Structure 1
Amino acid sequence: MKNGSSQCEGQVEMKTSGGWRTLCASHWNMANANVVCRHLGCGVAISTPKGAYFVEGGDEIWRDRFHCSGSESFLWNCPVTALGVPACAHGNTASVVCSGNQAQLLPQCNDSWSNTAGSAASEGHTANCSDSRQLRLVDGGSHCAGRVEILLQGSWGSICDDSWDLRDAHVVCRQLGCGVALEATISAHFGEGSGPIWLDKLNCTGEETHVWQCPSQGWGQHNCSHKDDAGVICSGGATS
């Protein structure tokens, strides 16, 4: 990345046979940005500044639209479609600000939690926090079983099953008000997700109130594919 204050922010450039080119910002989104941040070892995308935020101009522009899911390892793994010349000009180039996080203890959420109604609730049992992180279980046939997914920066993503065990699953079940964990499933038992893989190698004690309080590799840091998506089967109710 170019023109930022660190290696983890700036105008995105890709090297081709013709040299370095900036990317067009038309249809540039957080899924594309997350792939860039992961590739550079810069955590996850925080924002995609618009306009000439990092731009000095003069570079040749790569006029393609990227269609990343957010889980790709490299930007060039994403499908692309061509954009017309009028769709992109200097001042309309793609930029990213990454979290810059490496392995870390994930930040706590100290706000009160509640079940959320609406479209998200129709897909799974959802807990809502003022910092916008949410948790749900999907494709398990009930709100207390399924693939574990976290909403971060507008994208639902899964958890890798490396080191996934009942202690991790207990935290998920407790957080969602689903009692205790009966099983910690691995190998995409409830099907493969399609978004980012947000967490890997969780090491919960089982006493945490939120799954992102558990030590891990850090947001977006993993060596997994969606074949490794973690899931849980909870008892389905509060225990005494």
Structure 2
Amino acid sequence: MSHPICIRLVGGSYTGEGRVEVKYHDAWGTVCDDGIIDTNAKSCLSRVGMWHGAIQKQSAPFGQGTGSIVLDDVSCTGTEKSIASCQHNGFTITNCNHSEDVGVVCFSVRLIGESTSNGTVIVKLGNTEGSVCDDNWDNDDASVVCGMLGYNGTTAQTVSNARFGEFSGQMWMDGVNCGDSESALAKCTFNGFGKNDCSHSEDAGVICYCSNLPYRVY
């Protein structure tokens, strides 16, 4: 028998990030980070209106919850409409404690200014878009962006000083420092969402290459 379940995000600084809490039998509880991967986060957030993608954060990054741990060893394919529809141990069956409460960040990227493979990097946190400052911006960072856009196996080039145009509004990221293993820009080291000393004249951009030639979509 399936159980109706509500989902919310708690403890984040912005809409679209926080500790995952689920309501089960009229009480709010948490989800253990055992087995949680990004596809699980995406399935979870389809129920809180964040359709555009998500990454998981382990070890109670948004603080420890209280009450029951409702789900453990969650395994999703990424197509489920709710995290409760994913495979798991069973409601409230867990060997975790609240130091393992999982959090998620609703996060996606797109490019503006020239084409789908060349442009100013725009990140979406929750329902709000913003740009990225070009401080420390390098080709490793650009490669992560291009990978998120689906240009797997490509090389990437950074673009600085708002070459593809300035964004207006929020600047979300500064001091980005990616290695060679991150699958999403939000997993790289940076100053923290909204923490920057930049202007939009420093908006970062990328060019995604395929077979060593610029791959342009018109």
TM-score, length-scaled by structure 2? 0.50
TM-score, length-scaled by structure 1? 0.46
